[in-house]
Chains A and B, each alone.
Chain A
Amino acid sequence: MSSTQTPQTHVMTTADASAVAAPPAAGSADTSANTSSASNTNSISNTGGLSNTSRLSNPNNSVKPEGQVRRYDLASHWQLMWWKFRKHKMAMTGLIILALMLVSSLLAEFLSPYDPLKRNSRYAEGAPMGIHFFDEAGDFHLRPFVYARSLKRDPVTLKRSAVVDTSKRWPIHFFVKGQKYTMLGLIESDIHLFGVVNEKGKASKKAFIHLLGTDELGRDMFSRILHSSRVSLSVGFIGVSVAFVLGMLLGGAAGYLGGWVDEAIMRMVEFIRAVPTLPLWLALAAALPREWSALQVYIAITFLLAIIGWTHLARRVRGRLLSLREEDFVMAARLAGCSHSRIIARHMLPSFMSYLIVDLTISFPYIIMAETSLSFLGLGLREPIISWGVLLNSAQNIQTLAQMPWLLLPGAVVVIAVLAFNFVGDGLRDAADPYTR
C-alpha cells in the first residue's frame, strides 16, 4: 500500500473502531480476521490509558492522536502477517506463480490439448511449434495458427521426418472437442482449452499442435508437463504433510515428555541430519520391490522423502514447547484447569504456528528436488505416473539432448517452482514475526 494513503486509512476514532468490524480500507482478502472479537475488545480497552500496543507502531503512522485506534491495533496476528507479507514483492510474485501452477496442474486435462500418453507417430521427436499471427506472405491473421507439418522421407537415409510446410496453416481454435477425459475423477468432458483444426475447420487426425515439441515417442511435451506438475506438486504436498505430522508428534513428544523419550528422538534427529541423504534414498528407493505398481512406488517414494522434512520441524516444536512451558499464559491456563492436551493445542501451538508454516514452506523445495533427482536417475517414480523428474529421465544423455534440447523444459519448470517456493519462504520468514520494525 502506498505511504501517502496510510495516515487516512489507518487513523480511526474509537467510535469507528467499535462500530466497524471490517475497516473500509481493508482489502477484500483480509476482512476475515477483522471480526476477531478478542483483538477488538483488547485494543479498545487499551485506548483509555496509554496503551502497550506501541510496539506495534508502524513508522507510517507513528504520530498517534490521543484516544484513537489505528487499524494496526485491531488486526489479528495473521492479519499483521499478511500485511507484512504483502509488502514483500518477490514473495507475492512467488505466491502468484505457485497459485498459477497449482491451478493449471489441477486443470491439466482441460488445459492440455492431448492425453499425456498419446503418441503422435507423425511427429515423434518433433521440435516445438511456434504460434504465428503473420504468414509467409506477411498477411496478418487474427486467429493465431501453426504451420502444417508434412512427413518427408530423407532421400539418403530413408528416414521419415516431419518438415514445416508453410503453405498450409492449422489455425488454433479455443474450446475444441478432442479426446475424452475425466478431470480429477469428477468432470467428464471432451472440451480442451485449445487445439487445431484442419483447413476445412474440422478437428482432424492430420492436424496437430505441439507447443513445446514431442518426446521420442511423439507424446506432447506441453500436455506432459502440465500433467507432471500435478504429480510433482502432490508429492511435495503429501511429503510436507507427512513431515508436518511426524514433526509435530515426535517434536511434541520430545518437548513435552522429556527424559529418555526426548533423548532418543533428538538422537534420531541428529542421526538423520548427519547422514548423506541422497545416497541413502537412492539405495532405499532401489530396494523397493520391482513388481510394485507405479502407484505403490509413488506412495512409497513420497513417504521416503517425507523422512527428511520432519527433523527440522521436530526440533522447532520441541524448542518452542520447552521455552513456552515457563510462560505466564501457560501457567494461567494450567491454573484455569486446562488439560495438558488443551494447553498444547490451544495455548502453545498457535503462538508458534507461523514459524512452523515457514519451516514447511522451506522444506517444500527440498522434497520436490529430491523427487526430481530420484526420478531422473530412474529410481523414483515410474511411467505411467509422470513427474518432472520422470520427464527429465529421457534427457539423460548428451546425444539426445543435443538433438532435442526441448526435453530439458521440465527442468525449467522445476527451477521456477523451487524459486517461487524460496521467495514465498523468504517472505513468510520476514512476516512470521510481524511485530519487529
Chain B
Amino acid sequence: MIQMIIKRMVSALAMLTVLSMIAFVLIQLPPGDYADAYAGKKSQGGAVMTAEQIEEIRDKLGLNEPLYIQYINWASDFVQGDFGYSWEYHRPVIDVVAERMPVTLTLVFMTLVFTYFIAVPMGIYCALRQYSIGDHAISLLGYIGLAIPNFMFALILLYLSSVFWGTSAGGLFSPVMQDAPWSWEKFKDMMAHIWVPVVVLGTAGTAFQIRTMRATLLDELNKMYVTAARATGMDERKVIMKYPVRMALNPVVSTLGWELTNIISGAPIVGVVMSLPDMGPLFLNSLLNQDMYLAGALVMVYCILVILGTLISDLLLMLLDPRIRMGAMKA
C-alpha cells in the first residue's frame, strides 16, 4: 500500500516536471524577452534605453545563458514560490495568483460536490423507474447538458437573468460587498451568487455521471444476486441500496479524478464569461496581453491542481475500495 502511494507520487512528480517544461517553453514562445518587454514599457513612459542597458539587464537576469540553465533557474525559483513578475499588474505573479486562487478552489470544490450530489440520486431514480416520464425527462436534459458548451450555457443564463430579473448573474458578490474585506457576511454573499457558475460548470459532468450511474445500476439490477436478495424477503429498499447501488457507485466514484480534470479545465472559460474574480479572467488576459510569466504560472497552477486532485482522489479510492487496495498490494 505504502509502496503504491510512493509510486503514485513519483509519477505525479514526473508529470509535473514535464508540465513545467511545457510551461517554460510557453513563456519563451512569444518573440522578444523580458528585457525587450521592460525596454518597451520604459519607452512608453518616455525614457529611452540604449542597447547596452538592455544587454545589461539581460546579463543581470541571466537571459544570455543557454536555455536549459534558464529553465533550471526558472524552475528552482518556481519551487521557492517566485513565479516571476507580471507586467500587467506591476506585481509579483505569486501575489496576483494567491489573491484569485481561493475563489477558484471554492468553485471547483463546490462543483464537484454538486455533480455527485445530483448525479447519484438522479441516476438511481432513472434506473429504478426506467422509461418513466421522469427518466425520459432527465435523459433529455442530460443530452442537452452534454451538448451545450459551458460558455454558451453561461451566456444564456446571463441573458435570461438580465431580461427577467434585470440583474446580472455574473460576478460573485453584490456591488456592496465587492471591495469589502473578507467576513462572514461576504462569505454568505458569495454563497448566494456562486451557485450560478457551479451549475454552469457542473452540468455536463452531472449529465455524464447520471448516464453512467443509470447504465451500471441497470446492469446490476438484472444480476442474480439481486434476485437472490429479494428471495430472502429483504426489504426492497434495502435490497437496492445495499448491493446494486454500492456496486454501481464504483465506476462513478472512480472517475472522480477525471471529473476533477474536466471541471478545472472548464473553469477558466466560465470565469471569463461570468466575470468571476477567479483565475479565469486573469488567465485569458495574461494570454491576450502575452504577459507570459503570469500565463505560465497559471498554466502550472491549473496543472498542479489537477495532479494534486487526482492524487488525492486516487488515495481516497484506495481507502474506499478494498479491491483496489488489494490490487495495489499485489502489484
A→B interface (CB under 8 Å): 271, 273-280, 282-284, 286-287, 289, 365, 369, 372-373, 376-379, 392, 395-396, 398, 401-402, 405, 408, 411, 414-415, 418-419, 422-423
Contact = CB atoms under 8 A, between A and B. Distances in A.
A401 B158 contact: yes
Interface string B125-162: 00000000000000000011011111110011011001
Interface in B14-58: 15, 18-19, 22-23, 26, 29-31
Contacts, number: 117
A113 B113 CA distance: 49
Given A373-B151, A398-B159, A282 B284 contact: yes
B163 A402 contact: yes
Contacts of B150: 373
B158 A414 contact: no
Contacts of B296: 283
B269 A377 contact: yes
Given A372-B149, A419-B144, A279 B158 contact: no
17 contacts: A274-B306, A275-B303, A276-B303, A278-B266, A282-B283, A283-B26, A283-B287, A287-B29, A376-B151, A377-B284, A392-B151, A398-B159, A401-B158, A408-B156, A415-B147, A418-B149, A422-B143
B290 A274 contact: no
B26 A278 contact: no
Given A277-B265, A408-B152, 8 more contacts: A274-B261, A276-B305, A289-B31, A392-B152, A401-B155, A401-B158, A402-B159, A405-B159
Interface residues of B, number: 51
B288 A379 contact: yes
B265 A401 contact: no
Contacts of B307: 274
Interface string B247-270: 000000000011001001110110
A287 B30 contact: yes
B4 to A, nearest CB: 16
B180 to A, nearest CB: 24
B170 interface: yes
Contact of B298 (A279, A289, A365, A418): A279
B146 A283 contact: no
Contacts of A415: 144, 147-149, 152
B310 interface: yes
Contacts of A284: 26
A419 B143 contact: yes
B299 interface: yes
Interface string B170-203: 1000000000000000000000000000000000
Given A279-B298, A372-B149, A377-B272, A398 B265 contact: no
A396 B306 CA distance: 28
Interface of B: 15, 18-19, 22-23, 26, 29-31, 143-144, 146-152, 155-156, 158-159, 162-163, 168, 170, 257-258, 261, 264-266, 268-269, 272-273, 283-284, 287-288, 290, 295-296, 298-299, 302-303, 305-307, 310
B152 A411 contact: yes
B299 A279 contact: yes
A309 B149 CA distance: 18
A369 B149 contact: yes
A408 B155 contact: yes
A276 B11 CA distance: 17
Given A274-B306, A276-B265, A287-B30, A401 B22 contact: no
B151 to A, nearest CB: 6
A287 B310 contact: no
B151 A279 contact: no
Contacts of B15: 271, 274
Contacts of A273: 258
Contacts of B19: 275
Contacts of A278: 265-266, 268-269
A378 B285 CA distance: 11
B143 A378 contact: no
Nearest to B264: A276
A414 B147 CA distance: 8
B295 A286 contact: yes
A37 B158 CA distance: 60
Contacts of A280: 22, 299, 303
Contacts of A402: 159, 162-163
B189 to A, nearest CB: 20
